[in-house]
């Protein structure tokens, strides 16, 4: 989830760490403050930034990347696993 004050460089550094840990699938979405408090949204990530982050992730050889404001961890999960040959 993005929008809690992280920088582009910090997100890319995190992606590198994930690849080092052999993570293949990545979802990047906008943090939306739930009812009842929690942390406030620091900023809303633009669609262009999500597109740039997806390109950065793909350049790091993630097998499957979903990146957008409404993407959640389960977003198109079955298609993601199928795309890397790990589906049912």
Model pLDDT for residues 50-77, shown as the tens digit of each residue: 999 999 999 999 999 999 999 987 766 6
Residue 3 lies in a domain: no
Number of domains observed in the structure of the chain: 1
For residues 66 and 42, what is the distance between their CA atoms, to the nearest angstrom?
A: 22
Does residue 37 sit within a domain?
Answer: yes
Lowest mean pLDDT among 15-24, 33-42, 60-69: 33-42
Residue 87 has pLDDT above 60, yes or no: no
**Residue 79: is its pLDDT beyond 90?**
no
Alpha carbon distances (Å) from 79 to 10, 25, 40, 66, 72: 28, 11, 32, 11, 14
Task: Note down the domain range covering 55.
Answer: 8-83
- Within a domain: 2: no
Q: Within a domain: residue 55?
A: yes
Question: What is the pLDDT, as a whole number, of residue 86?
Answer: 60
């Amino acid at each position: 989830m993005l929008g809690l004050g992280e920088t582009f460089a910090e997100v890319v550094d995190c992606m590198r760490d994930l690849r080092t840990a052999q993570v293949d699938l990545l979802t990047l979405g906008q943090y939306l403050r739930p009812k009842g408090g929690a942390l406030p949204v620091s900023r809303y990530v633009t669609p262009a930034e999500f597109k740039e982050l997806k390109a950065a992730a793909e350049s790091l050889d993630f097998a499957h990347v979903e990146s957008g404001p409404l993407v959640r961890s389960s977003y198109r999960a079955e298609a993601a696993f199928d795309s890397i040959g790990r589906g049912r």
